[in-house]
Amino acid sequence: MDDNIAPDSLPLSSSVDSVILNRKTVKVMATEQPEIIINAGQIAAFDQMVNEAIEVAGWAPFHYDRKLDSIAEPWRFTVLFHQQSRQVAKQFFNWFQDVKPSNKIPKMLTACGALILVNWLPESVGVSNKTVQVNEEHLAAAAAATQNLLLALESRGLGTYWSSGGQLGSKEFFHRMSIDAEEKLIAAIFVNYPGMMNLDSIETAEGKNRLKRSHWTKWTRIID
């Protein structure tokens, strides 16, 4: 990492800045079948925070009315809270038999408080330049909603990891979850509920690109 880009070297001008700079990936993986050590009321409170964060995330900008099912937004969110994601973890290697046993997705599905899939909705009519541009902007809007989601979860004290999702983005998985086959996965967000499990039954890892960031002047041109 370049010198002088660590978050604590920046003057923070708003609470938004501090949420952006404090967000960091935490991958949480179950090393065994972990016992949940927080009570049902605490889990319900975290589940409620997830719902609130999704509502907030939906205030992302979007350019084109997708006009699908009378909904303008070009994204769809699918939530599996802990019990459901754990069920998927149990079935994972049955459903996807060509996946290596070392695949980490089942471990993350077992450990997470919630899995949130963020999909975007491509326009399938024609391949004109206009359609390509519209689709790029649908995808961009869904990415903005995804980052909003990470920040809204961070501000509530919940940990996150944005994964491409692997098999969770497959047509087979969509079919099992009753998700339209035309949708495309942009993010599988694993949400960690603090203190949910005994630390002995989980391992954690940072995001691998975390330390590769460069100083903003390296990727910014100022035209004068």
Give the interface with ligand FMN as residue ranges (CB under 6 A): 24-25, 161-164, 207-210
Q: How many CB atoms lie within 10 A of CB 193?
A: 25
- Find the shortest distance in angstroms from Cβ 187 to ligand FMN: 6
The DSSP secondary-structure symbol of 12 reads P
- Find the shortest distance in angstroms from Cβ 211 to ligand FMN: 9
Q: Which is nearer to ligand FMN, 31 or 164 (CB)?
A: 164
Handedness of CA 175, 181, 185, 189 (dihedral sign): negative
**Cβ–Cβ under 8 Å, residues 152 and 52:** yes
- Find the shortest distance in angstroms from Cβ 78 to ligand FMN: 17
Q: Which is nearer to ligand FMN, 43 or 146 (CB)?
A: 146
Phi, psi angles (nearest 5°) of residue 77: -110, 140
**Cβ–Cβ under 8 Å, residues 29 and 111:** yes
Q: Which is nearer to ligand FMN, 26 or 37 (CB)?
A: 26
Q: Which is nearer to ligand FMN, 43 or 160 (CB)?
A: 160
Q: Which is nearer to ligand FMN, 105 or 197 (CB)?
A: 105
- Find the shortest distance in angstroms from Cβ 200 to ligand FMN: 24
Closest residue to ligand FMN in the complex (CB): 207
**Cβ–Cβ under 8 Å, residues 22 and 154:** yes
- Find the shortest distance in angstroms from Cβ 101 to ligand FMN: 18
**Cβ–Cβ under 8 Å, residues 191 and 160:** yes
